[in-house]
Amino acid sequence: TGESSSYKVLCLGASTGGPTAVKEVLSNLGHHFPLPIVYVQHLDVGADQKMVEWFDETCSNIKVQLAKDGEIAKPGHVYMAQADRHLVIDSISSNGNPILSLSDEPEERFLRPAVNKLFRSAAKVYKNECLAVLMTGMGRDGADGCQMIVENGGYTIVEDKSTCAVFGMPAAAIEQNAAKEILPRDKIAKRILALTEKNGVWN
């Protein structure tokens, strides 16, 4: 089962087909969800604000916002990477929540933001208290990050081929034995809720 700890952060990564897939998961978590959610979506420059507005319209029960540099992420809120800036977890605030950092560091495998950057930072900072979900997308971004999360005792869920628009990133993570669990999109939120129940917010 791998549920050895209370998780403190949920990280999401997606590319092609990601917004629709992530929206389904987020709308089933809702704003009472006990963890901060940090989300990297591959996007064209200039599309990030429109994406947040789209989430506002289609996913009203949880707040999606663009992450700001130095911001402390709050439980039940979603912090999405800005287009063309890496988003990482820099450190942990005094109340245990992630302090976010944006950077203009070089692209990783031609990507900025890169899911790998976020996932690796979460693994480093939160170790076995990190929960991550890698969803639909082309390429291999996120696989190395998932591997590092698993190596540090965290938990990774990747989207099953049956519901992926493009089975690239999840396939790469599975290939690298970096997926603790493989689930179709409609089962992911329920599993996240089960894994985070012991955080004591649910009653």
Per DSSP, the three-state class of 202 is: coil
Q: In the numeric block, which tokens belong to residue 40?
A: 């990297």
Active site residue 44: no
CB-based contacts of 94, cutoff 8 Å, min separation 6 = none
Active site residue 15: yes
Q: In the numeric block, which tokens belong to residue 144?
A: 């190395």
Strand partners, 159: 183
Active-site residue among 15, 101, 121, 160? 15
List the strands of the sheet with 63-66, edge to edge.
63-66, 77-80, 37-41, 9-14, 130-134, 155-159, 181-183
Locate tokens 């692209």: which residue?
107
Q: What is the dihedral of CA 171, 177, 183, 188, to 10 degrees?
A: -110
Per DSSP, the three-state class of 118 is: helix
Active-site residue among 42, 48, 101, 160? 42
Active site residue 42: yes
Cα–Cα distance measured from residue 155 to residue 129, given in angstroms and rounded to the nearest whole number: 8
Active-site residue among 86, 101, 141, 144? 141
Q: In the numeric block, which tokens belong to residue 141?
A: 């971004």
Q: In the numeric block, which tokens belong to residue 121?
A: 């930072």
- What is the set of active-site residues? 15, 42, 141
